[in-house]
Amino acid sequence: MAHNPTYIHFAVPPFPYFLEAGRTVYQPGEQHPGRSRLGIFDLLIIEEGCLFIGEDKQTWAAAAGSTLLLLPDRQHYPVKPCKETTSFVWIHFQTVGEWGQSTGESVYAERDRHFRSFHTYPYTIRMPQYGLLPGLLARSGQAALLPELSRERRSSAVWRQQRLFEEMLQLLDLARQDEGGNQAAEIAERTEAYIRSHYAERLTNRSLAEALHFHYNYLARCMKRVYGLTPMEYLTDYRLEQAKLLLLKTELPVSAVAERTGFESIAYFSRRFTHKVGHSPLQFRKRYSR
């Protein structure tokens, strides 16, 4: 059953949250029931056999050692009965953040909209809708443990299940795995960490390249791949984020806020701040002052 590779993207935080998990076993001749628009994500981790299942116009023969993510707003149906004993762990979860589907490059949430909703800029988790179970996740036994925790006291299980679920998402995240190796994600994270530590200084394409020992174009490719924006775009966003904190938590004049967050000109700072936030720095401060 041929299918086009598709990817699911989640803008976080807030992170997807765990609902419930279980294990299902089908004998030869049995099949997955048809369902429509359940309103929750259904992550299947195939342990043995092969599950023949479809979603809208897409069909899969999900074999042992694979994962399949069924989407909350689609129709799911059996394609044909199982030919052999087939078992899988299913994990239901939901998210209040933005999510999307693509067949090519990563899809990123609109950063300003996400910030207005959740007071933080988004990181994008990128997962294959259907793919091989990562070796580290297979060896960890986390998927098998999730259903077992359902028999524990709710007061302790709810914390352990959410933590395990988020660890599984991290292992499934292609932005961290990086299909070409881990270097792009590693370089992007190093660039991000350097910017956060030195944002108040005068940073340029050249100074970033010299500090991180990579050509700026390569740094930009890595950042775009993992975060969806260039180092300089990330720098401006982070400076404005820090400026907002200073405006709220101090009585520093706007000129001092601009200087402390790395802006060389108060006029340029005010212009960028107003464009990004929708209010001038002074108006923003007055909105939250008694």
pLDDT at 185 exceeding the cut of 90? no
Q: How confident is the model at residue 181 (pLDDT cuts 50, 70, 90)?
A: very low
Name the more confident of 89 and 138. 89
**Angstrom distance (rounded) from CA 10 to CA 111:** 13
Q: How confident is the model at residue 3 (pLDDT cuts 50, 70, 90)?
A: low
Q: What is the pLDDT of residue 27?
A: 96
- Give pLDDT tens digits for 98-127: 999 988 766 778 888 888 888 888 888 989
pLDDT at 268 exceeding the cut of 80? yes
Cα angle for residues 135, 42, 180 (degrees, 5° grid) = 35
What share of the chain in percent tops pLDDT 70? Answer: 95
pLDDT at 234 exceeding the cut of 50? yes
Helices 266-277 and 231-249, axial angle in degrees (round to 10): 90
SS (H, E, C) the chain: CCCCCCEEEEEECCCCEEEEEEEEEECCCCCCCCEECCCCEEEEEEEECEEEEEECCEEEEEECCEEEEECCCCEEEECCCCCCCEEEEEEEEECCCCEEEECCCCCCCCHHHHHHHHCCCCEEEEEECEEECCHHHHHHCHHHHHHHHCCCCHHHHHHHHHHHHHHHHHHHCHHHHCCCCCHHHHHHHHHHHHHHHHCCCCCCHHHHHHHHCCCHHHHHHHHHHHHCCCHHHHHHHHHHHHHHHHHHHCCCCHHHHHHHCCCCCHHHHHHHHHHHHCCCHHHHHHHCCC
**Angstrom distance (rounded) from CA 9 to CA 117:** 18
Q: What is the pLDDT of residue 50?
A: 97
ω before 13 within 30° of 0 (cis)? Answer: yes
The mean per-residue pLDDT over the stretch 175-184 comes to: 58
Q: What is the pLDDT of residue 4?
A: 64
User: What are the backbone angles phi and psi of residue 58, rounded to the nearest 5°?
Assistant: -100, 140
**Angstrom distance (rounded) from CA 248 to CA 254:** 11
The mean per-residue pLDDT over the stretch 158-170 comes to: 92
| Among candidate residues 127, 56, 49, 38, the one with its CA nearest the CA of residue 89 | 49
Range scoring the smallest mean pLDDT among 10-19, 26-35, 81-90, 143-152:
143-152
